[in-house]
Amino acid sequence: MSQHPHDDPYTENSPPRRRLFTRRRVVIGGGAVVAAGALTGGGFLTYDRYLRFGRDAETYIPDHRIELPTSVPPIVIVHGTDPALNVRTAIDRMGGMSRFIGPDDVVVVKPNIGFDRAPDQAANTHPEVVAEVARLCLEERPQRVIVCDCPVAESRRAFERSGIMAAAIEAGAEVVLPEVSSYRTVEISSRLGTWDVLEPFVVATKIINVPVAKHHNLTNTTAGMKNWIGITGKLRVMFHNDLDRSIAELAALMRPTLTVVDASRVLMETGPKGGSLNAVKQVGAVAVGVDPVALDAWAYSLWGTGPDDLPPLFDLAEGMGLGRAELYTEAPLEIVAG
């Protein structure tokens, strides 16, 4: 049944085709399309039959960073065998998710779901890490919590086999596959030009980057800054002309509210795709903070790379004012969960 736009409390001042929520929203899952109210067990993903994500998207992505009190550690590293507990412990030590997320926010959680790999193969972010980030956000009662990414592999299979789709939905988040999302035209940088970016990343009011730390055959290591390649369906080889600069320019575009680096189990070689369990090391750690450069440097340290022998990416990112690599050795709060 059609609803007058003013029946929706979130769209009181919005025209009908710009609605944030609508009863015409549908759920797609298991090959069926059903009314949202008729689904009792959750669905694979949700989308609005109009413009899906509400307010008009801008042609730029705003700075989502927040300023923390000096009493809050910029980086918290937590060790433990329970990935979800590690996440919750780290964010609690930073003052809780309420420091970052509020009731007016549309939150986008960006894991690394690059490949059609199972969780224990460590090619994608651990599903329990993603789910716990989503749960912590939802406890602050924001307007929406959306999990999305552009995989290298066929997207539905990557979302499903990684375990992230099921875990995020069980936590209460929406999961958006790139083929059902709208795209917005955004200038990445003067060098890279204007590209189509998944709409959730453009309309979000807060963005949480949730990468996995793993080996990469081109950059040695990949973590948070390189994870931004997944905001677009553009062929990734197009970033490879001066890859370090491309990663830095993407990081300068995105500027997340919070970064959560998953090192629960780490692909130490044969990355980024991996496959063999012999290449996976059980590290049992998560690093959380607001300095993406320092967090990436911490990820590189898992391979023995210190702050004095990092690749050119870090000089580029520091020159853009994105953070300081040395911070992970100067001021981390390192604790054991439990």
| pLDDT single digits (tens) 248-282 | 999 999 999 999 999 999 999 999 999 999 999 99
Mean pLDDT of 12-16: 30
DSSP H helical ranges for the chain: 83-93, 127-138, 155-161, 164-171, 199-203, 243-254, 292-301, 312-319, 327-330
Q: How far is 311 from 278, CA to CA, in rounded Å?
A: 26
Going by C-beta distance under 8 Å and a sequence separation of 6 or more, which residues neighbour residue 182? 51, 52, 53, 199
pLDDT at 174: 97
Q: Domain residues of the chain, as ranges?
A: 1-56, 58-336
Query: Is residue 337 scored above 80 in pLDDT?
Result: yes
Q: How far is 75 from 78, CA to CA, in rounded Å?
A: 10
The answer to which of 182-191, 210-219, 315-324 has the lowest mean pLDDT is 182-191
For the purposes of burial, counting CB atoms within 10 Å of the CB of 216, is it exposed (0-12), middle (13-18) or buried (19 or more)? middle
Residue 111 gets which letter from DSSP?
Answer: E
Query: Is residue 247 scored above 70 in pLDDT?
Result: yes
* Prediction pTM value: 0.85
Name the residue with higher pLDDT: 334 or 117: 117
pLDDT at 24: 28
Q: How far is 333 from 331, CA to CA, in rounded Å?
A: 7
Mean pLDDT of 174-202: 92
CATH number of 58-336: 3.40.50.11440
pLDDT band at 307 (very low <50, low <70, confident <90, very high): confident
Q: Is 221 helix (H, G, I), strand (E, B) or coil?
A: strand
Q: How far is 36 from 143, CA to CA, in rounded Å?
A: 17
Work out whether the CA dihedral 296, 113, 68, 253 comes out positive or negative. Answer: positive
Going by C-beta distance under 8 Å and a sequence separation of 6 or more, which residues neighbour residue 93? 73, 76, 78, 333, 335
**pLDDT, mean over the chain:** 84
Q: What are the backbone dihedrals phi and psi of residue 278, each rounded to the nearest 5 degrees, phi first?
A: -65, -20
Identify which of 201, 310, 318 has the alpha carbon closest to the alpha carbon of residue 248.
Answer: 318
> 66: which 2 tokens?
């927040």
pLDDT at 335: 87
Mean pLDDT of 106-132: 97
Biggest CA-to-CA distance, the chain: 63
- Residue % of the chain over a pLDDT of 90: 69
Residue type, 171: A
> 29: which 2 tokens?
């899952």
CB atoms within 10 A of CB 115: 20
pLDDT at 14: 29
Return the residue matching tokens 């780490």.
266
Q: How far is 209 from 201, CA to CA, in rounded Å?
A: 11
Are 52 and 174 spatial neighbours (Cβ–Cβ below 8 Å)? no
Crossing angle for the helix pair 312-319 and 292-301, to the nearest 10 degrees:
170
Q: How far is 249 from 206, CA to CA, in rounded Å?
A: 19
Return the residue matching tokens 């990436």.
296
Mean pLDDT of 102-113: 98
